[in-house]
Amino acid sequence: MEITAAPGELESFNPATGERLGSVPLTSPDQVQAVVDEVAEVQPFWAQLPLADRAAYMRRAAQAIIDDLEGLATLLTREQGKPIDESYVMELVPTIDALHWIADNGPAILADERVPMRQPYLLQKRAWIRWEPLGVVAVIAPWNYPWSIPLGEVAIALMCGNGVVLKPAPLTPLIGQRIQAVLERAGVPEGLVRCIHGGGDVGQALVESSVAKVFFTGSVAVGRRVAAACAERLKGSVLELGGKDAQIVLADVDIENAVSGCAWGGFANAGQTCSGIERVYVMREVADRFLDGLVARAKALRVGDPLRPDVEIGPMASERQFELVRELVDDAVSSGAKRLCGGPVDVPGMSGRFFAPTVLTDVTHDMRIMREEVFGPVVPVMPVDSEEEAIALANDSRFGLGASVWTLDRGKGERIAARLEAGMVWINDHMFSHGAVQTSWGGVKESGLGRAHGKLGFRECVSPKQMTWDPSRTRNFWWHPYDDSLRRALRESATLLYGRDTQKLGALRRGAGPLARLAARTLRRPRP
């Protein structure tokens, strides 16, 4: 019997089988501000909790994930389509670790930060920065990593004392809703984290609401609109907008390691990863060995039911995504590229759209496949004649999320990494650091603004308040009334403190009298 969605519901379907998994209530755009207001009522109580108490809730949330680990992994695989092993290794287990790192390190990161006041005329004062919560922040999540991306951002925002309105992607609403459920099961006050569901109109309403900041992961086109709407309202945004990550393979590389890294970096999650390897520039002297190894590895990867433990490649998340990948591959082949393996494939018993790991060669840099984000299991490989050529080609992109350099020479790897226009560069690895929450995550150019994770991610979730204290034992010398001795004392003091050594003795002779009168003034109380 066909099941149809009730009015006001958003349905979720298994991309491998087409099976209906369930539904969540839709939020209408005109309901969004009310949700934000309700979270804002709870947030001040949460913000007043000591940092140690907030940290305890993060640890409880980690335990709540552990207690339902198998159920969450199964739901994640069924709803998003990634292989079950990847649900564990790329999403769930890293967030357990992240919650503990946030709990262990958050109190120190958020502690008041002393600002030294070493100028002689300010020695009696004390200054520090207090990190205050923003209030309510919005997290607009993607469908490709619907658990790990939003949960990391939500957890840091909570640790900083904020409330959160989370909008999961329409393709993955059930796993997004479970984020709220896990946190509430951990004892986080009900209403502090709220999920809303819907399409772009709901996301737009959230951006335009009174939230203090927006964390958005998605396309460049939508990210521009988010940034513009936030700027118009004088609030911040953190944008992760995708990438076109390059892998540079040097001649001295461990070929087997580089091939294995490329296969994982390019084909994990069926290539549906913002920082996946989408371009390879390999030194010509090792190009044939690299290509032979990569093609063999790609052909060995098993495509099929992602719930099976021996499957490495699941379905594309949607028909639309499948067609976008096929279009880009077909365009490359029609423009002269050679497909060495891969492409659309049928899986017996599965109605979803599958794309086998694909390796392309004979590509040129004017092809769309080398310039547009593929977001599928496709790796184009270009042999190059020099490291300089590889760097230039890697930087010839409007994206700048991540990149990797593969070499046994660490010094050379670091020098090349320093010249790559990317927010993150890995040497002999790729994209793993999203699972290490202590490292920052984000890009440059059209890959976005701001950073998630790490200390920098914490700073995105707080407002710095400059605080100072003066013991009131003296008056400031720059206060009224003004007279000639103030000007003369300041002129000679500038030379004494910051001038050339040959000038200081003269300045001391000229300024001794004015400086003495200035010192005496600081000890007198002002007349009423």
Question: In the structure, what pLDDT confidence band is assigned to residue 114 with cuts at 50, 70 and 90?
Answer: very high
Mean pLDDT of 137-156: 98
pLDDT at 345 over 80: yes
Q: Is residue 20 part of a domain?
A: no
User: In 3D, which of 57, 40, 50 has the Cα closest to residue 183?
Assistant: 57
505 and 403 share a domain?
A: no
Please state, in angstroms and as integers, the Cα–Cα distance from residue 124 to each residue in 120, 342, 423, 468, 491, following that order.
9, 71, 41, 11, 22
Based on the fold, state whether residues 163 and 222 are members of the same structural domain: yes
pLDDT value for 520: 87
Residue 295 pLDDT: 98
Q: Do you know the residue count of the chain?
A: 528
Both 405 and 300 in one domain: the answer is yes
Rounded to the nearest integer, the mean pLDDT of the chain is: 96
In a domain, 26, yes or no: no
Residue with the two structure tokens 């793993």: 432
276 & 391 share domain: yes
Q: Look-up: residue for tokens 């019997």?
A: 1
**Do residues 105 and 204 share a domain?**
yes
Q: Would you say residue 309 has pLDDT above 80?
A: yes
- Assign 525 a pLDDT band (cuts: 50, 70, 90): low
Residue 491 backbone phi and psi in degrees, to 5: -60, -45
Q: Is 179 exposed, middle or buried (0-12, 13-18, 19+ CB in 10 A)?
A: buried
Tell me how many domains the chain contains.
Answer: 3
Judge whether residue 210 has pLDDT over 80: yes
Quick one: average pLDDT of 252-278?
98
pLDDT for residue 98 is more than 80: yes
Mean of pLDDT values over 46-61: 98
pLDDT at residue 42 is higher than 70: yes
Say whether both 45 and 194 belong to one domain: yes
Q: Assess whether the previous peptide bond of 133 is cis (omega < 30° from 0).
A: no
Residues 146 and 266 in one domain: no
Number of C-beta neighbours around residue 157 at 10 A: 27
Cα distances (Å, whole numbers) of residue 366 to 284, 299, 369:
20, 27, 8
Are residues 207 and 313 located together in one domain of the fold? no
If asked whether residues 264 and 215 sit together in one domain, one would say no
Region 150-166: mean pLDDT is 98
| Tens-place pLDDT, residues 424-447 | 999 999 999 999 999 999 999 999
- 255 and 393 assigned to the same domain: yes
CATH of the domain at 77: 3.40.605.10
Q: Is residue 230 part of a domain?
A: yes
Instruction: Judge if 236 and 209 occupy the same domain.
Output: yes
**Helix (H) or strand (E) run with residue 166 in it:** strand 163-167
**According to the model, what pLDDT value does residue 4 have?**
42
With a pLDDT cut of 70, the percent of the chain lying above it is 98
Taking the CA atoms of 372, 444, 442 and 414 in sequence, report the sign of the dihedral they define. positive
CATH code: domain of residue 361: 3.40.309.10
The predicted model gives 350-365 an average pLDDT of 97
Which of 175-184, 279-288, 488-497 has the lowest average pLDDT?
Answer: 488-497
Mean pLDDT of the region 11-31:
97
pLDDT, one tens digit per residue, over 54-95 is: 999 999 999 999 999 999 999 999 999 999 999 999 999 999
Q: Which two tokens stand for residue 511?
A: 């300024």
Kind of pairing, strands 338-345 and 354-361?
antiparallel
Q: Give the residue-averaged pLDDT of 245-265.
A: 98
Q: Which residue has the higher pLDDT, 335 or 477?
A: 335
| Residue 528, pLDDT above cutoff 60 | no
Tell me which amino acid residue 518 is: L
Position 109 in a domain: yes
Write the burial class of residue 386 (CB in 10 Å: 0-12 exposed, 13-18 middle, 19+ buried).
exposed
In a domain, 1, yes or no: no
Look at residue 22 and tell me if it is in a domain: no
φ/ψ of residue 351, rounded to 5: -95, -5
Give the pLDDT mean for 117-139.
Answer: 95
Task: Flag whether pLDDT at 456 surpasses 70.
Answer: yes
Average pLDDT rounded to a whole number, residues 357-363: 98
Task: Let me know if residue 121 belongs to a domain.
Answer: yes
What pLDDT is recorded for position 5? 46
4 CB burial (10 A radius; 0-12, 13-18, 19+): exposed
Structure confidence at residue 140 (pLDDT): 98
212 and 262 part of one domain = no
Domain membership of residue 490 as a residue range: 484-523
pLDDT of residue 7: 63
Tell me, yes or no, whether 27 lies in a domain: no
What was the pLDDT predicted at 20?
97
